[in-house]
Structure 1
Amino acid sequence: MTQPTTQPTTYAIAEAAHRSGLSIDTLRYYERIQLIDPPARDSGGRRAYSDDDLAWLGFLTKLRTTGMPIKLMREYARLRHQGLASAGPRKRILERHREDVLARIEELRSCLDVLNYKIDNYATLIAAEPRPQEASA
């Protein structure tokens, strides 16, 4: 008895945009600048994104969220096509970027400390402020 073959799940561009949290325009842009490979096409010629495509988009989104420049993301994407042979250079890109992210986190912590100080100071000032007397009847 032959096993039924299951087709991999694919997503139209609108669904891929929804699932990835990116806009349709961003998906097309990423394709145009070669951050993502052109997705497969369905029988009608429409883009058909796979779960692997969505996973890659998720990773790219993390890189953008952490401030990696598009130029560096493109370099990483280019190296990715070389497979295991480019593992070292890709690792170095991520290590350098991690250092940048850690520095930004430290800078944000410093900013948060200032905000917390100001908020606490205002809370102290407000608590010490005299309250108007309640009107007596």
Structure 2
Amino acid sequence: MLTITEVSQKYEITQDTLRYYERIGLIPPVNRNKSGIRRYTDDDCEWVHFIKCMRSAGLSIESLIEYVTLYQQGIDTVAERKKLLIEERRKLVDKIEEMNEVLGRLDFKINGYEERMEKKQGKKKA
């Protein structure tokens, strides 16, 4: 079992963010010891890792709360969870395609500057 400080360091997430995620239902409630100190199990850490990964991919908090809520409702929600993840995947693919277009435009601009710099260097030598 890990403390909130250890989980925060392990996943590079602030303690406030971990508390917030738990408060809004983004991660299931974390068990506490007799003193009220959070004690993260391996399962809790898997949720933190999953949420961090999905957030870094651009999934909204709302979608993730919906997913966690469905998960907590049990096996009868498998189809709904799958549908939600498929939709989020589609959005991510669209975003990747858009980012690749932007990357291509940047590469084009950079290459144009490289060519101009080479021409400028050639003129100085002549």
Q: Name the aligned partner's letter for residue 37 of structure 2.
A: R
Q: What are the within-5 Å matches in structure 2 for residues 41-80 of structure 1?
A: 41-80=32-71
Match of 1:125 in 2: 116
Question: Bigger radius of gyration, 1 or 2?
Answer: 1
Match of 2:22 in 1: 31
Q: Residue deviations 1:68-119, cap 9 Å, x none? A: 1111111101001122211110000000000000000000000001000011
Q: Is 2:75 the partner of 1:84?
A: yes
**Cα separation, 1, equivalents of 2:115 and 2:42:** 53
Structure 2: stretches of 5+ with no match in the other structure: none
| TM-score, with structure 1 as normaliser | 0.85
Please give the TM-score of this superposition, normalised by the length of structure 2.
0.92
Alignment gaps of 5+ in structure 1: 1-9
Q: Distance in 2 between matches of 1:62 and 1:75?
A: 16
How far residue 42 of structure 1 moved from its aligned partner, in angstroms, is 2.3
Say which structure is richer in helix: 2
Runs ≥4 residues deviating over 2 A: 42-45, 130-133
Identity in percent: 35
Partner SS, residue 49 of structure 1: coil
Quote the offset at 1:19 in angstroms.
Answer: 1.1
Query: Higher strand proportion, which one?
Result: 1
Which residue identity does 1:18 align to in structure 2? Q
2:31 maps to which residue? Answer: 40
